Chain A
Amino acid sequence: MPFNLLVASCLLYVIFLFAVAFLVERRAHLGRLGWLRSPLVYTLSLSIYCTAWTFYGAVGYAARSGLEFLTIYFGPTLVFIGWWWLLRKLVRIGREYRVTSIADLISSRFGKSNTLGVIVTLICVVAATPYIALQLQSVVLSFGVFASATPDGQAPPDPEQTAIWVAVGLALFTILFGTRNLDAKEQHHGIVTAIAVEAVVKLVALLAVGAFVVWGLAGGVSEIIAKIDAADLAAWQVQPGRWTGLIFLSAVAVITLPRMFQVLVVENADEGHLARASWAFPLYLLAMSLFIVPIAVIGLERMPAGANPDMFVLTLPLSEGQGGLAMLAFLGGFSSATSMVIVESIALATMISNHIVIPLWLHLRPSAARGDDLRSVVLTARRLAIAGVLALGYGYYHVSGGSAALAAIGLIAFLGVAQILPALIGGLFWRGATRIGAMAGLLVGFAVWAYTSFLPSFGPGAVLSESVFTQGLFGLSWLRPQALFGTEAMDPLTHALFWSLVLNATAFCLGSLLTFPGPVERLQGAAFVNVFDGGAGPQRWARGQAEPEALLTMAQRILGEDAALTLFQSAARDQGKEGFLPDPTPAFLDSLEGRLSGSVGAATAHAMISQLVGRATVSVEDLMAVASESAQILEYSAQLEAREAELTRTAGALREANEKLTQLSIQKDAFLSQISHELRTPMTSIRAFSEILTEGDLPPDMVVKYGKIIHDEAKRLTRLLDDLLDLSVLENGTVQLNLTLASLQQMLDHALTAARQTRPERSFTIQRDLPSEAIYLKTDSDRLVQVFINLISNARKYCDAADPVLRIAVRQRAGRVTIDIIDNGSGIPKDSQSLIFEKFARLTDANRAGGAGLGLAICREIMTNLGGSVAYLPGQGGAAFRVTVPLRLEKAAA
C-alpha cells in the first residue's frame, strides 16, 4: 500500500473524528444529547483502558510471556464486577463534590490541601510521561511497518519526524476539543463520543484480524487450539506471585490512572450507567483479548524469527497480502493510541492547571483576585499543559529511543499511579485518614517506586549507576533497587509492587494515626466517608463578612458572566430577595464553592473564597458547636417524642375513662327503669287486690286468698328493697364486716341446708370432698355463706339435667382458697357469661324463679368486700362458679 495513501486515510480518519466531536459538542450546547449520554457511550469511553499497549502490545506480551497478558484484563474485570464496593462510592463522590481529577479528589478529601494536589499531579505526570511516549512509539512503529512494506521504493519516514507530527496533531485535537470552554462540570461530550467511536474501531479491527487469523490462516477453532498446545514455549510458564501481583496491579491501575478516573468519574453523566458498565466493560475487555493468543501463536509460527511480536497485528495481515485488513488494524492501533493520549493529556492538564498553575498565578499576583478574567488564564494554562504533557512524552520517546518492550513501560506506569491507592481507599473508607498521612504515604510510595522501578527501567548506568544495582545505594547491600532488604527472590516488578505499596500504606497509616486533622479535613473526611448517608453535613462556612459584589465579580471571572449572574440570581431568589446579590450565608458560600471547584478544583476554589470571606472557614470550636447543637436538637426531639408518647397514653386513659362513664350512665338509666319496673309489678297487684278487699262483701276464703297475695307481694317487695339496700351498702364499701374464724365445711353445710328451700321438690346428688374442706377461714362467715346459698340456689333453680348433680371442689393455694360450685346442667352460653354478674340480669324469662336478678351482683360485691372474687368457670361440663377467698382476711383489706 502506498505510504501516501496511509497518511491520507489517517488524516481522513482524524477529520472524521473532528466532525463527530464537533457535532456532538454542538448538540451538547443545544442541550440535545439524547442517546449520546447513554450507558453504551459511557462503557465504550471506558475502553481507553485499552491503549496501543493493548492493541499491539498484548500480542507481543502473549508471544513473550504466554497467558500473563490476561492479568491486565482480569484486574479491571474484578473491579468492575465488584463495583458495589468501590466504584459506586467513587462516582457518587465525584458527582456530589464536582471532582475534576484524581488529584482534586485526594486534595479535596484531605482538607482541600493544594500540596496534596500538587504531589498527586506530579506522580501522575511522571508516571504518564513514559506511557504517552509508548503511544507515540506504537504509532511510529506502525507507520514504520507500512513504510518498510512499500514496494514503490519511497523513502521510509524518519521515525523522529513522525513522532513529532503525531504529537503536534494530537495536541491540536486535544486543545481544540478539550479546552473549548471552562465548564462548571468538567465534561467533554465531544471527546467522549469521539473516543467511543474509536473504541468501536479498535474492537472491530482486532476482532477482524483475529477472525482472519483463526479461520483464514489456522483453519478453525480446533486447529488453533492444537497449535496453541503445539507452541511449546518456555514463555507459557507463569510465576504465581507475579500472576497474582499483576492482577492486583491492574485492578488498582484501572481506578487510579488519571485517564480512567477522567472517563469513569468526571465524565460520568448518570450513576446508573455504572451498573451497565459493570458487566459491559469486562465484556469489551474479553472481546479485545479473545484473539490475542491465536494471533501470537500464528505470528510466531509464520513470521520470520527476528520479527517484532508487538507488531504482529499489523505484519500478519500484511505478509498475507491483506492490505485492507492491515489498514483497518492500523486505524485500530491509531485509535488506541490517540484516544489514550487525548484523555490522558486532558486529565493531566486539568490537574496541572488547577493545582499548580492557577494557585501559583494567584500567589504571584494577589491583585489578580480582583482583576482580569481568570477564565482565559485557566484555559491558557490548560492548553499549555496539554502541549507540555505531549512534549514531555515526545521527549521521553526521543531520549529512550523507543527501544524497550511496550508492556514493560506500561506496567511501570501502572505501578506509579498505583501509589495513589492507599490515600484513595483510606480517604473513602477511613475517617481517621489525615492529610499528613496521605502526604507521607504518597511521597514514600513515589520514592520507592522511582527507586525500585522507574529509574532502573532506564537500564544500569543510565540514571542509577552500575554499582548501585550491584552493591546498593551508598554501598548498603540491603538497599539494592531490585532487592530491598535482601528480597532477591521476587521478580523485579513484584518486588517493586510489594515494597512500594507496603511502605506507602505503612507511612500512610502511621502518619494518619499520629497526627491530628484540621477542621476542614475532618469535615471533608466525614462527608466523603458517609457520602451515602445523605445530607452534606455541617456547613463549611461560618457566616463571613464577604461582600456579595466581590463574590459575584470573582464568580464571573471563573464561570463567565452569564452563568455567574444566573447562579447569583437564583440564589437570591431562594433567599427571597430581588436582584442579583444574595446574602453571603454559609449555605450560599457552600454552593458557590461547589460550583467553582467544578472549574478550578476544590483547593483553589476554597482558597479564593476564603480570601474574600476573610477567615479560614470553620474552626474546631465551630465544629464542636455544630456537633453539640445537633446533639441538643436530638435530645430535644427525643424529649418531644417522650412527651408525645405520654400524651398518647393520657389520651388513651381518658378515652377509656370516658367510655366507662358513658357505660355507667347507661347502666344507671337501665337500672332505674328496671327498678321502677320491678317495684311497680308487686305494687300494682297489691293496689288491685287491696281495692277489691275494700269493696267488702267477699267470701272469706277469697279474702284470705287475696290477703295472702297481698302479703306475698309485699314480702317480695321487701326482699327486693332489702337486696337493693344490701347492694348499695356493699357497693359503697360501707359494709361492716364481722371477721371471725369459721370452718369452711360448716359454712358449706349451712348453705346446702338453707338452699334446700329453693325448689325443694328437686333432689340433687351432692358430691363433696370433706377432707379438703377442713379449712378455717378468717372472714365474714355470714356473708360468705350468703354467697354460697345464692350460688347453690341458682344451681337448684336453673340446672336442667334429669339427674342433677352438684359438685363442690375446694382447693387451697398460696394463701387463697378456691371453692368451685359445679352442676351438670347445660351451663351458661358464652356470650352471656359476662352479663350474669350485672344487676337485673336474667337469662331467660322462662326460668324466672322469683328473683329480681340481683343475686349474682350481690355475690360479686360481697366477694369484692371480702377481698376475693367470684367468677364464672367455663369448660366444666355445666354451670360452674369459682369463689376465691383469702385464707386470712386482714382488717385493712375490708
Chain B
Amino acid sequence: MAQEPRQQRPLSEEELKAYYRAKRGKNLALLAALVGFIVLVYLVSLVRMGG
C-alpha cells in the first residue's frame, strides 16, 4: 500500500505574522546590503581613479 504524503501543519495567525516579519526583515537587510555595495563600489572607484 502506498504511503500517504506527510501533511504539513498549517501556520497559526501568530506564526504567519512572525513569518511576514522575518521575511520583511530579510528583504530590508538585502536591500541595505545592495545599496551599501553600490555606494561602496562608487566610492572605491573614485579613490582608485583619483590616485
A, B: real partners: no
